């Protein structure tokens, strides 16, 4: 039983170490600091969005960015075929969902 407890402690310590490194990097980046001011978006979420999102200039509208995230469909038609394009980034969508749920629960408790 001590073996499992030791493994759990080691995993927790590594998670804390990595989280501290991410928080330190976030404090040095103005974009991630700005993203972290959004309700429900914390250190890990703001860092993930800043690291994976292409330049904003690549998106014509907010809807294009939402479609890139996979939140709304983006159609691409040519001839008789119609395709819906999206980047299937489940991790970012999950972070948005969890952040929204956290913000809603905080708002309800106030």
Among candidates 108, 107, 98, 110, which has minimal Cα distance to 45?
98
Question: Is pLDDT at 10 greater than 90 in this prediction?
Answer: yes
Count of structural domains within the chain: 1
Q: Which domain holds residue 73?
A: 2-109
| Interval 44-62 mean pLDDT | 86
**Which is more confidently placed, 70 or 39?**
39
How high is the pLDDT of residue 86?
56
User: Across the chain, what does the average pLDDT equal?
Assistant: 82
Tokens representing 15 are: 């998670």
Q: What is the pLDDT of residue 16?
A: 93
pLDDT higher than 70, residue 48:
yes
């Amino acid at each position: 039983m001590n073996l499992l407890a030791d493994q759990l402690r080691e995993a927790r310590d590594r998670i804390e170490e990595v989280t501290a490194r991410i928080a330190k990097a976030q404090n040095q980046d103005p974009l991630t600091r700005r993203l972290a001011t959004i309700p429900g978006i914390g250190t890990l979420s703001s860092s993930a969005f800043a690291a994976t999102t292409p330049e904003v200039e690549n998106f014509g509208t907010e809807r294009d960015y939402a479609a890139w995230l996979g939140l709304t469909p983006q159609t691409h038609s040519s001839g008789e075929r119609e395709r819906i394009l999206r980047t299937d980034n489940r991790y970012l969508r999950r972070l948005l969902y969890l952040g929204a749920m956290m913000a809603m629960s905080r708002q309800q408790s106030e």
